[in-house]
Amino acid sequence: MRRRTFLSALTVATASALARVSRAQAPTRLKSIARDARGTTLWLGLDHAPFPGPGAWYHDDTVIVFVPAHYRFRDDEGVATLVHFHGHNTTAERALVAHELREQLADSKQNALLVVPQLAVMAADSACGKLESPGGLERLLAEGIATAAREGSPTLGETVFPAEASLGTVCLSAHSGGYHAAACSLRAGGVDVREAYLFDALYTDVDAFSDWTVSRRGEPFRRRHKLVSYFTEGGTTASMNAILRAKLEHAGVLVAQELSEGELSRHDLSHAEAVFVRTGLWHAAVTWETNALRDVLYASALPRHLASTWFARKTGARPIERRR
């Protein structure tokens, strides 16, 4: 049975030590912190979280930041980040567990932090609050990185990074209803997002993803915008992906497509400017069951300094490795 609770799988930092840290840095923005073999996870309350906001129904200001145990700050890289937007009828913490976001980032060995902001709480609503305002993503990441550095410094050890560190490479991922937060962030988030990954998440906002991808077509690997979109058979996401793929091909974007997950090589996954993958998985399993997020991270422009055998088989149909 898949794990459904988070704190039970982590070694939670000593409560008395956290209380001392909180008192020393009052008013603290740290809600809780946990550390295990994979890394350190911080639950923060941020002013620039998507919510609350004027006229918003939602008031949870939680932003979760995960720092992998292998992370090492390099000044020339800044702080690279993967920002994940969860879908409908869930929370940031539930998505963190259900989609094994921490585990997949850690397994990819990329030298990046994971940032998961709380969107609409347990609601069928794609609203993303402050992220709909120009510069929303930039403000969220600036505050999140600085706060995580300050609040986590007693616990982060070798994975520590300075509060004033610059922002490095940024990639976005979205599952299901998280598409709108991703689209808003690409349109006017104030950050040069390098890559975007949609996991059965293209319901509308096609032009936002198209315009963003086309704007850097033909650019070198370290400058281009890359899109990867997984979709299930039939339904809205399949038809929207067909529309987006046609627009990108017409614009001259280098597109790769597979109609059965695993047909493309790892080279294809890395090289193409836009990748479309039809999967036979259920909607809730697309992000994690076949290591989809891990694999797009391996193939990404995020920095990595650890050796991996993932690239040993670059050609031919790539192996699909299930998490369960």
Check whether 105 has a pLDDT greater than 80. yes
Neighbouring C-beta atoms of residue 265, cutoff 10 Å: 17
| pLDDT value for 22 | 38
pTM of the model: 0.91
Average pLDDT over residues 112-130: 98
| pLDDT value for 27 | 61
Average pLDDT over residues 190-195: 98
Average pLDDT over residues 117-138: 97
Whether residue 154 is preceded by a cis peptide bond, meaning omega within 30 degrees of 0, is no
Assign residue 323 a region (left: φ > 0; alpha: ψ between -120 and 50; beta: otherwise).
alpha
List the strands of the sheet with 39-45, edge to edge: 11-12, 30-36, 39-45, 62-68, 113-117, 79-85, 167-175, 195-199, 226-232, 274-279, 255-258
Q: Is 12 exposed, middle or buried (0-12, 13-18, 19+ CB in 10 A)?
A: middle
Alpha-carbon distance of 159 to 67, in angstroms, equals 7
- Helical H segments across 157-264, by residue range: 179-188, 206-214, 235-250
| pLDDT value for 16 | 36
DSSP class per residue in 166-180: PEEEEEEEEEGGGHH
114 forms beta bridges with 66, 82
Check whether 10 has a pLDDT greater than 50. no
Average pLDDT over residues 17-31: 54
| pLDDT value for 122 | 98
Alpha-carbon distance of 250 to 285, in angstroms, equals 31
Report the mean per-residue pLDDT for the chain.
92
Average pLDDT over residues 185-196: 98
Average pLDDT over residues 227-234: 96
Alpha-carbon distance of 273 to 109, in angstroms, equals 22
Cβ atoms of 221 and 301 closer than 8 Å: yes
What tokens appear for 123 in the block? 């609601």
Check whether 167 has a pLDDT greater than 90. yes
Q: What is the CA radius of gyration of the chain?
A: 19
Alpha-carbon distance of 303 to 116, in angstroms, equals 19
Dihedral of CA 201/203/204/209: which sign?
Answer: positive
Alpha-carbon distance of 26 to 319, in angstroms, equals 50
pLDDT tier for residue 56 given thresholds of 50, 70 and 90: confident
Alpha-carbon distance of 97 to 102, in angstroms, equals 8
Check whether 18 has a pLDDT greater than 70. no
What tokens appear for 148 in the block? 């995580």
What tens digit of pLDDT does each residue of 241-258 get? 999 999 999 999 999 999
Tracing tokens 């088989």 back to the chain, one arrives at 313
Strands (E), 10-132: 11-12, 30-36, 39-45, 62-68, 79-85, 113-117
pLDDT tier for residue 312 given thresholds of 50, 70 and 90: confident
Check whether 131 has a pLDDT greater than 60. yes
Percent of the chain with pLDDT over 70: 92
- Residue 308's closest CA among 319, 321, 317, 299? 299
Alpha-carbon distance of 97 to 91, in angstroms, equals 10
| pLDDT value for 311 | 82
